[in-house]
A = this chain, B = another copy of it.
Amino acid sequence: EGRGSDSGARTVIQQCSHAKVKIKPALDGTDAQWAEVGDFGLVVYVCFFHGATEDVTHDMANKLMTTRLFRKNAGHSVSLLDLPGSILFVPQDSLLGKTAPNRRMQYIGGCELWWGAQLFSNLVSVCRELMSGSAKCTSAGVKVEHGLYGQKQEISLTSVEPLTVLLEF
Residues of A at under 8 Å CB distance from B? 1-4, 7, 10, 12, 45, 63, 66-69, 77, 79, 90, 92, 94-95, 97, 99, 103-105, 152-168
Taking a contact as CB atoms under 8 Å apart, the answer to whether B77 and A105 are in contact is yes
**Count of this chain's copies in the oligomeric assembly:** 2
Among residues of B, the one whose C-beta sits closest to the C-beta of A22 is B160
Among residues of B, the one whose C-beta sits closest to the C-beta of A17 is B154
Among residues of B, the one whose C-beta sits closest to the C-beta of A97 is B165
Q: Nearest-CB distance from A112 to chain B (Å)?
A: 21
Given the contacts A2-B7, A7-B2, A164 and B104 also touching, CB distance less than 8 Å: no
Among residues of B, the one whose C-beta sits closest to the C-beta of A62 is B103
Taking a contact as CB atoms under 8 Å apart, the answer to whether B164 and A95 are in contact is yes
Taking a contact as CB atoms under 8 Å apart, the answer to whether A167 and B92 are in contact is no
**A10-B167 Cα distance, complex, nearest whole Å:** 13
Among residues of B, the one whose C-beta sits closest to the C-beta of A169 is B1
Taking a contact as CB atoms under 8 Å apart, the answer to whether B103 and A68 are in contact is yes
**A57-B116 Cα distance, complex, nearest whole Å:** 35
Given the contacts A105-B77, A157-B157, A166 and B90 also touching, CB distance less than 8 Å: no
Among residues of B, the one whose C-beta sits closest to the C-beta of A82 is B103
Taking a contact as CB atoms under 8 Å apart, the answer to whether A94 and B165 are in contact is yes
